[in-house]
Structures are given as structure tokens and as C-alpha cells.
Structure 1
Amino acid sequence: MATIELVNLTKRYRQGPHTITALDGVDLRIESGDFVSIVGRSGSGKTTLLDLTGLLLRPSSGTVLLDGAETAGLSDGRRADLRGRRLGFIFQEYNLLPALNVLENVTLACRYAGLDRREGRQRARQLLDLVGLAERLNHGPDQLSGGQQQRVAIARALVNRPALVLADEPTGAVDTQTADELLGLMRRLNREEGVTFVVVTHDLDLAGRTDRMVRLQDGVVVSDERLNAA
């Protein structure tokens, strides 16, 4: 597992004659085994922070350290390789491929992790069993509920045994009961499997059940609180 450290991280965008600062000198350290929520109003920089941590964006200044190794200066190819092998992503809209069944959607991610086909299918089956979908392997995404689709997305995020899973509003498209079940699943994976989670959310009830809540405001960390999560 890995430690992720953001050092004086800044991200600016040009918008016509103006410069927009999405993040402004953020320092944040995420230890292996953490379960962290990132909260803040719309436009506070939450998703930008997640994208920089996941090596999807390059910072304007500062760096992201993975186990102490600087990543900002790496080539696009090397950054893509790190994403495929060491990071997992969960999105609000699931992003499952409609032409593939459940097992195929999860197995597809194995290509980026360097797993061979047989090993990848075995790992995918184990994870789908773990998230309660062992009986749905041959179903298409359109045959699943929103909560079931997100469970597939969670299995897909874990198939490469990532050092860190980054989740962008993972419960935003489901009802309250399903959101509670999904959070419980992620909590169990964190505690029993040692998976490190960073979850961006607008839901303060959900954030309050993580181990640590980081609050952003106008691109700046204004609080970083350890919680007594349930």
C-alpha cells in the first residue's frame, strides 16, 4: 500500500482574460489504510483535488508524491501506467460499458493492471462475489439497479489491487438506503481488505461516517478533522 502526499499543490485555469485558481497551495497527506472524505461547496476545488491526486491532471505548481516519489514531472505514459497499476477510480455515473456484461466490465480493467486474462477473470469473480453480485456475472448494466451498477464499479476499481481508490460522489446517483449500503461496503473493504479510500462528497452525513474529513473552501484546505466514525 502507498502513502500519497500533496505538497503546495496549485491548479490554475485560463478563462478568457482571467485566471481561475481552482486549488491554491494545498498540503495534504493520506496514509495507507485511511478512509478520507473531501467536502466543500460546489466550486471549492474538490473534484480538481481528486483529479490531481489521481494523476488525471497536472498541477500548475507543487507536486503529488506517491511513496515519496514525485509524479508531476513524469511522462504521460508513465503517469498512465501508475494510474492503471496503483490507483482505482469510482465515478458517480458508474461508466460501465453497455455492450459488456458485469464480468467483462470488471475484467476489462485488468488490461491496465498487467494481469493475464485467466488471473484477471479469477480476480474479477472474487471481487464480484465480495460485493454481492456473484449471481449477476452475465447480466448487462441495463439489467441492474443503480446500486448494483455502482457495486460493479467498486469491483472494477479494486481489480488491480490499487494502493488508493478515489471516488467522486460515488453515492450521488442513488437513493439514501442504497447510498448507506454502498458506504457500508466501502467501509468493510477499508477495514477488512486495507483499501485506502478518498471520497469526494457533498453529503455531510456520509462524510461524517469516514475516519477523516477534509474541508475545502475556495481551493484551500480550511479543516482536516479526525472523526470517530461508526
Structure 2
Amino acid sequence: MALEVRGIEAGYGDSRVLFGVDLDVPPGRTVGLLGRNGMGKTTLVRAIMGLLPARAGSVRFRGRTLDRAPAHRRARAGIGLVPEGRRIFPNLSARENLIAAARPGPWGLARVFELFPRLAERRDAPGNRLSGGEQQMLAIGRALMTNPELLILDEATEGLAPAVRADIRHCLQRLRAAGHSLLVIDGDVEAMLGLCDDLVILETGRVVWHGRAEALAADRTPLVRHLGV
């Protein structure tokens, strides 16, 4: 198993958000995390990455327990994060943003530019001069430059124009086809049904459904019950 999350409980201050969440991402599979706003999806990502201390439970990655590992060690262990809100360096060029994150491996500038040709055209533009879509491509490219074994994407298409969303999802399909392990959070249920191998639905910090994407596409009752779609 690439990622194994067992019994994770986490929250902020006196407020508990996650209640014993289990989640698996097998090697080479794309797992989607669904849920309404405020159900705990980003909190779970933060707990996996060590950005928020878990109050209970465990996180294992490629057989290694990461419970006490700080965020930077989890990243070095091979987990790449594309955070909600992009968080690129605004005063660095696109190329400098990518180089700043580089670690040895198959993903380098040439491969990122091949995946995102628009970034190649804009490689010398400062981050704050890029469009929203270009910034999101840069955030994904920066995460790939760390050469992760698992890539986590938190709302990677939120707030983007439909054409840009389609471009990014096409790139994610390419990553999936190439055998990358992905954990994807996205509010577009139809897109997730087409992209993901497995899906997990969170509601009020608990897993209320998990299984194969094709099973959920065939019987949409859980989508109606938990997401209202």
C-alpha cells in the first residue's frame, strides 16, 4: 500500500473535525475524496502531511510509520502536495519556482514543460504575473519536481475557467495512465467519476462510503444521500 491512514482524529482547538478516518491509496491508483464543504477533506490532507497534529490514529507510507514525522520529512519520504490556494512564490519566475522544489528523479523541467506547454511559454514570467490557471499548473509542476511517490491535489481546479479545468484534468489523466499514485480532492462529482479508480465520501469527519468509482457511477444513491447530487 502506498498510503495507509487508520483511525485519524484531528481538529482545531477544542473543535474535533475528523472522527476515526480510514483511507488507503494503493500504488498506481487514483483515489478521489468527495464531500460537501466543511466535511473535513482539507483537514485530512493536513493531518496526512503533518501540517496538523493528529490526536489519534496513524499514517503509514510505503510501509513506514510517519506519525511523529514533521511535514518536511513526510515530503522527503515521497508525498507531494498541491495545496488549496496554490501558494507559489509570487516574486520568482515560473522556472525558478520549479527549480526551487527540485529533487533527483525522472521529473525535471523538460518533463514538466512537456506536460504543461503553457508553462514553457511563460517560464520567465513572475508567479504573480501568471493567470490563475497558469499558477495552478505551476503548483502541480512544482509538486512533480519533488519526484513524489504519491501526489495529493487539494481542489486543484477550484475557481478556474472550464477550459482550464479540462486541461488540468487531462494532465491528471495522463499521470494516472502513467501509473502515478494520486489522491484527489475536487468538487466536480462527474469529473471525479471519470478520473478516479476509487472514491471515498466524507461527511462530518467520517467516511460514509468508499469503493470503486464504477460502483458509485452505477448506483448513485450515496451521492444523492451524502452530497445531494
The TM-score range, normalised by the shorter chain, is 0.7 to 0.9
Query: In 1, distance between residues paired with 2:17 and 2:148?
Result: 27
CA contact 1:124–1:156 (8 Å) conserved in 2: no
CA contact 1:103–1:125 (8 Å) conserved in 2: no
Query: In 1, distance between residues paired with 2:76 and 2:143?
Result: 10
| Shift in alpha-carbon separation, 1:92–1:26, aligned structure 2, 3 A | closer
- Partner in structure 2 of residue 152 of structure 1: 138
- Partner in structure 1 of residue 227 of structure 2: none
Instruction: Give the superposition deviation at 1:225.
Output: 2.4
Deviations 1:50-89 (A, max 9, x none): 1122222221011001122211133x3xx42231451211
After TM superposition, the score normalised by the length of structure 1 is 0.84
| Shift in alpha-carbon separation, 1:92–1:73, aligned structure 2, 3 A | closer
Selected match of 2:151 from 165, 168, 171: 165
Instruction: Give the superposition deviation at 1:26.
Output: 1.3
Structure 1 runs of 4+ off > 6 angstroms?
A: none
**What is the DSSP-based 3-state SS (H/G/I as helix, E as strand, rest coil) of the residue aligned with 1:129?**
helix
In structure 2, list runs of 5 or more residues that go unmatched.
Answer: 218-229
After TM superposition, the score normalised by the length of structure 2 is 0.85
In structure 1, list runs of 5 or more residues that go unmatched.
Answer: none
* Number of matched pairs: 213
CA contact 1:85–1:160 (8 Å) conserved in 2: no
**What is the DSSP-based 3-state SS (H/G/I as helix, E as strand, rest coil) of the residue aligned with 1:151?**
helix
Alignment of 1:49-128 (within 5 A): 49-74=44-69, 76=70, 79-110=71-102, 113=103, 115=104, 123-128=108-113
Return 165-174 or 53-62, whichever deviates more: 53-62
- Fraction of identical pairs, as percent: 29
Query: In 1, distance between residues paired with 2:101 and 2:151?
Result: 14
**What is the DSSP-based 3-state SS (H/G/I as helix, E as strand, rest coil) of the residue aligned with 1:98?**
coil
- Partner in structure 1 of residue 161 of structure 2: 175
Query: In 1, distance between residues paired with 2:92 and 2:54?
Result: 35
CA contact 2:49–2:74 (8 Å) conserved in 1: no
- Partner in structure 1 of residue 225 of structure 2: none
Task: Establish whether residue 14 from structure 1 lines up as the match of residue 6 from structure 2.
Answer: no
Selected match of 2:120 from 131, 134, 141: 134
Query: In 2, distance between residues paired with 1:205 and 1:157?
Result: 25
**What is the DSSP-based 3-state SS (H/G/I as helix, E as strand, rest coil) of the residue aligned with 1:208?**
helix
CA contact 2:11–2:43 (8 Å) conserved in 1: no
Amino acid at match of 2:192: A
CA contact 1:45–1:219 (8 Å) conserved in 2: yes
Amino acid at match of 2:67: A
- Partner in structure 2 of residue 42 of structure 1: 37
- Partner in structure 2 of residue 212 of structure 1: 198
